[in-house]
């Protein structure tokens, strides 16, 4: 039950920011997100303080709140003549903000994927070099996927159906959500959760290979010794 709550809350702020303005007015959706965010952070802090979460707060949580505030400021500051342009590219602006958050996490050497994968990996393995490398690679893939999702979000505008809610639902929510789920499954199923075991297996395999090489060398030495003895016997005969 607790794990289900954690899974739901993990990306809830960024999901609210990306989707709510589509189902109501942009301004109202942003206000709902901003009011919703502190509640989510409070629940996550309680879970963190009781040991159900290992990492708090996460880059995406704080980044999403900052993005929401910036977008709300733009909502009130943009002139009427520029509003059409703003509304046309609002989704693209969100993905650009999300992209900046992800890139900052890479620069800070704390990739966003590591903050979520740490929940399933023992703390003793967080400094494992392979764990760090896997998360840098996974986060770089997210950079490409966010760019792809940003492009997808603009397809309704490019084909002249920017006001069509069905098109926006497909290209701004359903396709990005599908990409997100596929990537999440990749992280859970492909990447290891116990790097200690992975290292132990590598060491075990290396030790086994070394033993095999030693045995081969020893056998080779025995064979060479036998050959030498045969040659010596032939000479004596």
Please report, for the chain, the start and end positions of each structural domain, with discontinuous segments joined by +.
2-193, 207-237
> What's the pLDDT at 106?
93
Classified as helix, coil or strand, 122 is: coil
With a cut of 70, say whether residue 205 has pLDDT above it. no
Q: Give this prediction's pTM.
A: 0.70
**194 or 140, higher pLDDT:** 140
Mean pLDDT over 123-141 rounds to: 88
Q: Which band of pLDDT confidence, cut at 50, 70 and 90, is reported for residue 203?
A: very low
Of 233 and 64, which is predicted with more confidence?
A: 64
Sign for the CA dihedral angle at 156, 159, 165, 170 comes to: negative
Would you say residue 56 has pLDDT above 60?
yes
pLDDT, the chain, mean? 75
Quote the CA–CA distance of 68 and 89 in Å, as a whole number. 15
Assigned token pair, 176: 């990005």
pLDDT at 63 over 60: yes
Cβ proximity of 29 and 20 under 8 Å: yes
pLDDT for the residue numbered 188: 63
Question: Average pLDDT, stretch 35-42?
Answer: 87
Burial class (CB in 10 A: 0-12, 13-18, 19+), 216: exposed
Q: What percent of the chain has pLDDT over 90?
A: 5
- When mean pLDDT is compared across 93-97, 136-140, 149-153, 216-220, the lowest value belongs to 216-220
Q: How far is CA 194 from the centre of its chain?
A: 17
The candidate with the shortest Cα–Cα distance to 126, out of 204, 56, 54, 50, is 54
DSSP secondary structure string for all residues of 15-74: HHHHHHHHHS-HHHHHHHHHHHHHHHHHHHHHHHHTTS-SS-S-HHHHHHHHHHHHHHHH
Task: Return the percentage of the chain with pLDDT > 70, whole number.
Answer: 62
pLDDT band at residue 104, thresholds of 50, 70 and 90?
very high
At 75 the pLDDT is: 85
**Which pLDDT value is given to residue 233?**
47
Quote the pLDDT of residue 11: 66
């Amino acid at each position: 039950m607790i794990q289900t709550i954690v899974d739901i809350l993990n990306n809830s702020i960024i999901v609210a920011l990306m989707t709510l303005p589509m189902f109501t007015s942009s301004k109202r959706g942003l206000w709902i997100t901003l009011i919703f965010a502190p509640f989510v952070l409070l629940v996550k802090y309680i879970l963190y303080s009781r040991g159900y979460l290992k990492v708090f707060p996460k880059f995406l949580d704080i980044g999403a709140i900052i993005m929401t505030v910036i977008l709300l400021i733009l909502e009130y500051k943009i002139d009427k003549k520029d509003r059409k342009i703003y509304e046309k590219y609002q989704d693209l602006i969100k993905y650009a903000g999300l992209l900046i958050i992800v890139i900052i996490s890479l620069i800070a050497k704390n990739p966003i994927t590591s903050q979520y994968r740490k929940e399933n990996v023992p703390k003793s393995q967080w400094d494992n070099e392979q764990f760090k490398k896997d998360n840098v690679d996974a986060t770089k893939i997210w950079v490409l996927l966010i760019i792809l999702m940003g492009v997808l979000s603009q397809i309704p505008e490019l084909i002249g159906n920017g006001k069509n809610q069905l098109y926006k639902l497909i290209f701004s929510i359903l396709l990005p959500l599908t990409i997100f789920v596929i990537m999440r499954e990749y992280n859970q199923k492909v990447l290891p959760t116990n790097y200690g075991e992975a290292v132990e297996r590598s060491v075990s395999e290396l030790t086994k290979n070394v033993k095999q090489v030693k045995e081969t060398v020893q056998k080779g030495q025995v064979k060479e010794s036998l050959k030498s003895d045969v040659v010596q016997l032939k000479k004596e005969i």
